Amino acid sequence: MTAISIQKEEGASARALRPRRHKPLAGGVSPWLLPVALLLLWQGGGALGWIPPTILPNPADVLAAAWKLTQSGELAQNIEVSALRAATGFLIGGGFGFALGLANGLSRLSADLTDTTLQMVRNIPHLALVPLVILWFGIDEEAKLFLVALGVFFPIYINTLHGVRNVDPQLIEMGRSYGMSRSDLFGRIIFPGALPSIFVGIRYGLGVMWLTLIVAETIAANSGIGYMAMHAREFMRVDVVVFAILVYALFGKLADSTARFLERLCLSWNPAYRSLSQ
Amino acid sequence: MSHAPATIPDVSRQDRLGLPLNARHISKAFGETSVLSNLDVFVPAGQFLAIVGRSGCGKSTLLRLLADLDQPDAGEITLGHGVDRRVQTRVMFQEPRLLPWARVLPNVEVGLGADGRTPKGRERARLALASVGLGSRAQDWPSILSGGQRQRVALARALVSRPRLLALDEPLGALDALTRIEMQKLLEQAWLRLGFTAILVTHDVAEALTLADRIVMIEDGKISLDLCIDTPRPRRRGAVELARLEEQILSYLLREDAHEPDYVI
């Protein structure tokens, strides 16, 4: 047997070892079957009078409300305000979390100085600060940004720290022995090694971001999707309230999909992510 | 691998890479446990030295000291005259230790340090990869390679910078028998052509006999056996004289008085 045919067999066995995945229904329809069925049930229930419109208006009514809000420009404006708040808060909180996570993962001194304090603060539910934040900032933009940034900070901090600390020490030893400089060691081994964990933090942080924003906007705001919902409640416009909730759901999904897309792009070396994207 | 011999360029006699390695009075302890005590070993330029011993005897520790992965508590280790040991030494570990997030070729470029990302470095890495028979896998992820192929990439990475000393920490231990024979051939070929000094730690006496010029055995932190193997190369597996030597070494290693148990069941 020649060496070349040995290689071919090795390749084949490596392929056979990859986990098998079920074939999704035509064009990735399967994830949407359940939401569509629920929607049909909802519309049907409303039309047959099982669900009173004051409790839950028909999907068609919600759609009509959405159309009206779109036409008046109110929706676009509120979405813009909310999205800007979410993004700014996320960048501030995520940026600090990432920076401190890296610093504490790489430097024993930095971890000794700050980690205990951060772990204490982490155990305070950040939404418990709402009354304090209103007293500090009123209902201005700072209040929302502060809450979102605080909420996003911890998942990103914890996961960045965890990622950096759990980079395979054997690879770091190899890098040192092969003469990598400190910056090379970081750029070629530590950061890429921590990246899967950092992405977990980002996805989790995005969830916290929406949650915090919804709470902050319903309690203390005069613009944004959450405010739109609270305002509609005062006029018993259940259709607008339901629509606002749907907008949040859509935006949450959109943010998560973006993060997953980036994850697949950056982690294509990892067989788990690669087989998902192919 | 079929075209491997053609692509490792021959090095003329005077350009051979190997430098002598000299370790004097080295000691190493982990906490209270002394692993190596006042050990001397001199490895002439270009020699292939195998270190054998029972597990836990300190042979890997010795290799780590010689390869500058750890520092000895006492003693001095020099490579050639005033040569930076870290720069001129490459290590092959038991695991391939490839960067999973880099494709095969960039992994080989790691062996060149900062030069790896220059066009010239890339070309050298490409040649090194071809010399281990994996030239066509340059753009693959390490995760889809077999264990033997990964270890071959690691060998290319270790040799691409033309090291003066190659330290091998049981790099073939995790491979299946056939792949191991292939790797031994590849390793011997590269050593014969480039002439670096090589130190191999192994628990497999037969492997040591196939590859090494000299075998030292470590027991109780000291060298208990120092044996020259002058059997001509290429060595035939299962040759009678190698089998006789293996038997002698193993019976010495397993001799009754070597490890007297504290109590008898």
B99 vs A270: CB contact, 8 Å cut-off? no
ipTM (interface pTM): 0.87
- Contact in structure between A148 and A93 (CB atoms under 8 Å): yes
Rounded Cα gap, residues B164 and B194, in angstroms: 9
Enter the tokens of residue A276: 């998902």
Domain membership of residue A225 (yes or no) is yes
Domain total in chain A: 1
Distance of alpha carbon A109 from alpha carbon A38, whole angstroms:
54
What is the arrangement of strands in the sheet containing B74-79, beginning at the earlier edge strand? B33-43, B21-30, B74-79
Q: What architecture does CATH give domain B4-98+166-253?
A: 3-Layer(aba) Sandwich (3.40)
Report the alpha-carbon distance of residue B43 to residue A257 in Å, rounded. Answer: 59
DSSP chain A: --HHHHHHHHHHHHHHHSPP-PPPSGGG-HHHHHHHHHHHHHHHHHHTTSS-TTTS--HHHHHHHHHHHHHHTHHHHHHHHHHHHHHHHHHHHHHHHHHHHHHHHH-HHHHHHHHHHHHHHHTS-GGGGHHHHHHHHTTSHHHHHHHHHHHHHHHHHHHHHHHHHTS-HHHHHHHHHTT--HHHHIIIIIHHHHHHHHHHHHHHHHHHHHHHHHHHHHHS-SSSHHHHHHHHHHTT-HHHHHHHHHHHHHHHHHHHHHHHHHHHHHTTTSHHHHHHH-
**Interface contact A198, partner B, CB < 8 A:** no
In the predicted model, is pLDDT for residue B53 greater than 70?
Answer: yes
Nearest 5°: phi and psi at A77?
A: -65, -45
Q: What is the spatial distance between Cα B60 and Cα B75, in angstroms, rounded to a whole number?
A: 17
Residue environment code for A16-51, b if the CB has 16+ CB neighbours within 10 A, otherwise e: eeeeeeeeeeeeeeeeeeeeeeeeeebbeebeeeeb
pLDDT tens digits, one per residue of A153-179: 999 999 999 999 999 999 999 999 999
Residues 10-69 of A with CB under 8 A from B: 10-11, 13-15
Residue A262 forms part of a structural domain: yes
Considering CB atoms only, which of A3, A178, A269 is closest to B1?
A: A3
Report chain B residues touching chain A, CB-CB < 8 A.
1-2, 67-69, 86-87, 89-91, 93, 95, 97, 99-103, 110-111, 113-114, 133, 141, 143-146, 148-149, 157, 178, 182
A18 assigned to some structural domain: no
Q: Looking at residue A86, which CATH number applies to its domain?
A: 1.10.3720.10
Best of B63, B64, B89, B97 to disrupt the A interface by mutation (most A CBs within 10 Å)? B97
A15 contacts on B by Cβ (under 8 Å) = 144
Tell me the pLDDT tens digit for each residue of A11-52: 444 444 555 555 555 567 888 899 899 989 988 988 888 888
Is-cis flag, bond preceding B234, omega within 30? Answer: yes
Residue B43 CA to residue B23 CA, distance in Å, equals 9
What residue ranges do the domains of chain B occupy? 4-98+166-253
Give me the amino acid identity at A14. A
State the average pLDDT for chain B: 88
Q: Chain B contacts of A14, Cβ < 8 Å?
A: 144-146
- Percent of chain B past pLDDT 70, that is, above it, reads 91
Residue B196: predicted pLDDT = 95
Categorize the per-residue pLDDT at B10 as very low, low, confident or very high, splitting at 50, 70 and 90: low
Question: B-chain residues within 8 Å CB-CB of A171?
Answer: 97, 99
Q: Is A170 in Cβ contact with B113 (below 8 Å)?
A: no
Residue of B nearest to A6 (CA): B179
The H or E element that residue B151 is part of is helix B147-159
Q: Which helix (H) or strand (E) holds B152?
A: helix B147-159
pLDDT at A1: 37
Amino acid B202: pLDDT: 93
Tell me if B67 and A179 make a contact (CB, 8 A cut-off): no
DSSP labels, A55-82? TS--HHHHHHHHHHHHHHTHHHHHHHHH
Q: Which two tokens stand for residue A180?
A: 């990598």
CB–CB contact B144 A13 (8 Å): no
Residues of A in contact with B97 (CB under 8 A): 170-171, 173-174
Q: Is residue A33 part of a domain?
A: no
For the segment B128-135, the average pLDDT, to the nearest whole number, is: 93
Q: Decide if pLDDT at B3 tops 70.
A: no
Q: What are the Cα distances from residue B205, in Å, to B66, B91, B92, B187?
A: 21, 21, 19, 17
- pLDDT greater than 70 at residue B98: yes
- A3: confidence class by pLDDT, cuts 50, 70, 90: very low
Q: Kindly list the residues from chain A whose CB atom is less than 8 angstroms away from the CB atom of residue B148.
A: 10
> For residues B108 and B98, what is the distance between their CA atoms, to the nearest angstrom?
9
What distance, in Å, lies between the first and last C-alpha atoms of chain A? Answer: 34
pLDDT, residue A272, reads 78
Contact A177 B113 (CB under 8 A): no
User: In the prediction, which pLDDT does B52 show?
Assistant: 93
| A226 domain residue, yes or no | yes
Where residue B17 falls among pLDDT bands split at 50, 70, 90?
A: confident
pLDDT on residue B5? 42
Of A144-158, B67-81, B145-159, B250-264, the least confident: B250-264
**In this structure, how many other beta carbons lie within 10 angstroms of the beta carbon of residue B42?**
11
Flag if A193 and B69 touch (Cβ within 8 Å).
no
CA–CA dist A30, A13 (Å, integer): 31
Which of A10, A13, A173 is the closest to B69 by Cβ? A173
- How many H-runs (helices) and E-runs (strands) does chain B carry? 9, 9
Q: Which of residues 119-178 of A touch B (CB under 8 A)?
A: 170-171, 173-175, 177-178
Cβ neighbors of A138 (< 8 A, separation 6 or more) are A220
- Contact between chains at A270 and B133 (C-beta distance less than 8 A): no
Per-residue pLDDT tens digits for A244-264: 988 988 888 898 899 999 988
Separation of alpha carbons B165 and B147, rounded Å: 24
Residue A76 C-alpha, separation from nearest chain B C-alpha, in angstroms: 41
A116 touches B at CB < 8 Å: no
Tokens of B74: 């006492």
Q: Above pLDDT 90, what percent of chain B? A: 67
Residue where the block lists tokens 């095969």 = B104
Report CB contact under 8 Å: A269, B143: yes
Contacts A173 to B, Cβ<8 Å? 69, 97
Across A143-160, average pLDDT: 95
Chain B CB contacts of A6 under 8 Å are 178, 182
| Non-local CB neighbours of A6 within 8 Å, separated by 6+ positions | B178, B182
Tell me what pLDDT residue A278 has: 41
- Number of C-beta neighbours around residue A257 at 10 A: 10
Q: Which structural domain, as residue segments, surrounds residue A128?
A: 58-277
How do residues B105-131 score in pLDDT, each as one tens digit?
A: 999 999 998 787 889 999 999 999 999
Q: What is the pLDDT of residue B35?
A: 92
Whether residue A6 lies inside any domain: the answer is no
For CA atoms A132, A135, A137, A138, give the dihedral sign. positive
The three-state secondary structure class of B105 is helix
With beta carbons less than 8 A apart as the criterion, state whether A62 and A239 touch. Answer: yes
Q: Are strands B21-30 and B74-79 parallel, antiparallel or unpaired?
A: antiparallel
- Mean pLDDT over the full length of chain A: 86
* DSSP code of residue B232: P
Answer yes or no: are the C-beta atoms of A43 and A58 closer than 8 Å: yes
Verify whether the Cβ–Cβ distance B100 to A270 is below 8 Å.
Answer: yes
Q: What is the 3-state secondary structure (H, E, C) of A107-129?
A: CHHHHHHHHHHHHHHHCCCHHHH
Residues of B in contact with A270 (CB under 8 A): 100-101, 143
Q: Does A109 touch chain B (CB under 8 A)?
A: no
Q: What is the pLDDT of residues B144-187, one digit of tens each?
A: 999 999 999 999 999 999 999 999 999 998 899 999 999 999 99
Chain A, chain B: beta-carbon pairs less than 8 Å apart: 76
Class of residue A91 by CB neighbours under 10 A (exposed 0-12, middle 13-18, buried 19+):
middle
Is residue A7 very low, low, confident or very high in pLDDT (cuts 50, 70, 90)?
A: very low
Residue B160: the pLDDT is: 94
Inform me whether the C-beta atom of residue A4 falls under 8 Å from chain B C-beta atoms.
Answer: yes
Position A222 confidence tier, pLDDT thresholds 50, 70, 90: confident
Residues in chain A: 278
Give pLDDT, residue B263.
65
